[in-house]
Amino acid sequence: MGNERHHTPRLLLRGGLVIDTAPHPVVHPHTDVLVEAGRIAAVGRDLPLDDSDSGLEVIDARTMVVLPGFVDAHRHLWQGVLRSAAVDASLDGYFSRVLGELAGRFTPADVHTGNLLGALDCLDSGITTVQDFSHVQYSPEHTAAAVEALEEAGIRAVFGYGYPVFDESARQADWVRKARTAHFPSRDARVTMALAPVGPSFTPPEAVREDWLLARELGLPVAVHVSAGPVAMRPITALREQGLLTAGTLYVHGNSLPDSELRLIAESGGAVAITPAIEASMRFGAPMAGRLRRAGITTGLGADAVTSAPGDMFSQMRAALMSSHFDGDRDGGGDGDGLALKAADVLRMATAEGAAALGLGEEVGSLGVGKRADLVLLRADALNLAPVAHDPIGAVVTAAHPGNVDTVLVDGRAVKRGGRLLYENLGGVLAEAHRATERLGASSS
């Protein structure tokens, strides 16, 4: 069961329409990408090919768009088995149904299935890196199951150890320490760890301090949801007042925060993950992408919850692009305050900026030589993309969909090829997902 680990091949992607994303998105037609030892070794036209090198596999990419794998900066993967369970729910309805009612029923086996299904769904649509905000840690066994699924899927991930929202008894610092020691001995591994506490917007200052000091003790970055209240109306200010405002923190959402709070995030070296589809459907507040760009904050995109919105990055990019035209238009005047994004801005958020937001900017998110070979190849000759030459970046952002994903590489190893996910027991995972749905009582039937 699962993906067998094979020797990482040497690959030459020949003649693709290559889109790099750092420092800014740029298109390179008829360009090769050489992959060696799981990393990008060279990018350029007509790279020399030694016909006597039998260890080099050449992939014809002349009808492909080649770009860095997408980075999902905020997602609750365990909810993979709850897809579309709360599409019409408000935020309160989501909290009540998903976090209040269904989450507590999850066994470790359910978490494994949800995480595995969610991670495979990511890979299938070209997301090669995901920040898994896993607020379902009811026991150390739940944690072990979640991490095992991430490893098994073959995705790159930052596992955010989160406390269940409605179970204070599961907020156990020793469980976090145990997870850090047992599952994350190396910081250079494909799956790394962060702490994902409830945070200052929703918990008392003493609990916030305990959580942030625990993260410092274990050398973990922090990922946290933020909003104006209900506990701290100025959560970033509250962190500063406690001496807890540190670089490398990932703040999620923040639609209701004033610009003064965004300035503190920028000054402290923090980043923000936005989930435009969820933020719109659950009415978190005005769109954030333009405001964050104006504040100079590194911004990543995320799918958040497949209970209520699409899980692919193409949908998130479109939601971010279209909603940015309303950024700053709080008085209804329609001028958008000059904050609307361009397609290139959104593609960068989905790749290079998302990677930087997760602290992985030196490893993934663009096509720099030496970076991990996490790559996506899209079929440029598909009906919905052709002819792609007018504006390849615009086409990827506004026209592409998961069905265009032909090949996905993580560390130079194919996890999808020829439009087919290479996970060996996909049917078994789907069967387990259906069984979990029935057992959890999440089905409408």
* pLDDT confidence band for 331 (50 / 70 / 90): very low
Q: Virtual CA dihedral for 143, 146, 148, 149, nearest 10 degrees?
A: 170
* The pLDDT of residue 154 is above 50: yes
Look at residue 252 and tell me whether its pLDDT is greater than 70.
Answer: yes
Strand pairing report for 298-301 and 56-60:
unpaired
329: confidence class by pLDDT, cuts 50, 70, 90: very low
Report residue 291's pLDDT band, with 50, 70 and 90 as the boundaries. Answer: very high
392, pLDDT greater than 80: yes
Q: How far is CA 56 from CA 14, 340, 443, in A?
A: 12, 44, 48
Residues in the chain: 445
Specify the range with the lowest mean pLDDT, choosing from 95-99, 177-181, 302-306, 334-338: 334-338
- Nearest-5° angle of CA 273, CA 412, CA 391? 60
Least confident interval from 54-58, 262-266, 272-276, 309-313: 54-58
Average pLDDT over residues 341-358: 98
Residue 444 has pLDDT above 80, yes or no: no
* DSSP-based three-state secondary structure for 418: coil
Does residue 382 have a pLDDT over 90?
yes
As beta bridge partners, residue 377 has 66, 407
For residue 5, what pLDDT is reported? 45
pLDDT of residue 380: 97
pLDDT of residue 9 exceeding 90: no
- pLDDT confidence of residue 320: 96
Q: Above 80 in pLDDT, residue 218?
A: yes
Q: Give me the mean pLDDT over the 297-313 stretch.
A: 98
Q: Is the pLDDT of residue 180 over 80?
A: yes
pLDDT band for position 279 (50/70/90)?
Answer: very high
More confident residue, 4 or 288: 288
Q: How far is CA 100 from CA 60, 92, 96, 106, 433, in A?
A: 50, 10, 5, 12, 20
Confidence of residue 330 (pLDDT cuts 50, 70, 90): very low
Cβ atoms within 10 Å of 33's Cβ, excluding its own: 26
DSSP string, 156-206: EEEEEEE--TT-GGG--HHHHHHHHHHH---TTSSEEEEEE---TTTS-HH
**Average pLDDT rounded to a whole number, residues 248-261:** 97
- The pLDDT score that the predictor gives to residue 3 is 45
- The pTM (predicted TM-score) of the whole model is 0.95
Mean pLDDT is lowest, of 16-20, 172-176, 214-218, 321-325, for: 321-325
Q: In what order do the strands lie in the sheet with 70-75?
A: 70-75, 127-134, 156-162, 191-196
The percentage of residues in the chain with a pLDDT greater than 90, rounded to a whole number, is: 90
The per-residue pLDDT for range 135-145, each reduced to its tens digit, is: 999 999 999 99
Name the band, by pLDDT with cuts 50, 70 and 90, for residue 326. confident
pLDDT 10s digits, 64-94: 999 999 999 999 999 999 999 999 999 999 9
- Give all strands (DSSP E) within 76-126, no chain letters: none
Residue 338 — pLDDT band, cuts 50, 70, 90?
low
